[in-house]
Amino acid sequence: MTDTADEAVERLRTALRSAGIVLPSLRVDPVTEVYGGRNTLVDLGSCNLDVAARLAAALTEREGE
């Protein structure tokens, strides 16, 4: 699957939202976006402790599937 950077960020944002997680700073890294392609990074940004705990729980739950 090959997404553009924006598509990848939107898919991640949607998946996180469906798990009840919002990362307000989630974005395409503007510095690496200049180079494009697979070298572009996704900046997950910062989150508070509650969001970090929910993210860890969602990932742990996923491991059990």
Amino acid 12: pLDDT: 94
- What whole-number distance in Å separates Cα of residue 31 and Cα of residue 39? 11
> pLDDT category, 13, cuts 50, 70, 90?
very high
- What whole-number distance in Å separates Cα of residue 46 and Cα of residue 39? 21
Which pTM was predicted? Answer: 0.79
CB within 8 Å of 19: residues ≥ 6 apart: 54, 55, 58
Query: Residue 49 to residues 32, 41, 45, 46: CA-CA distances in angstroms?
Result: 28, 24, 13, 10
Q: Write out pLDDT tens, residues 19-61.
A: 889 999 999 999 999 887 788 999 999 999 999 999 999 888 8
- What whole-number distance in Å separates Cα of residue 49 and Cα of residue 28? 23
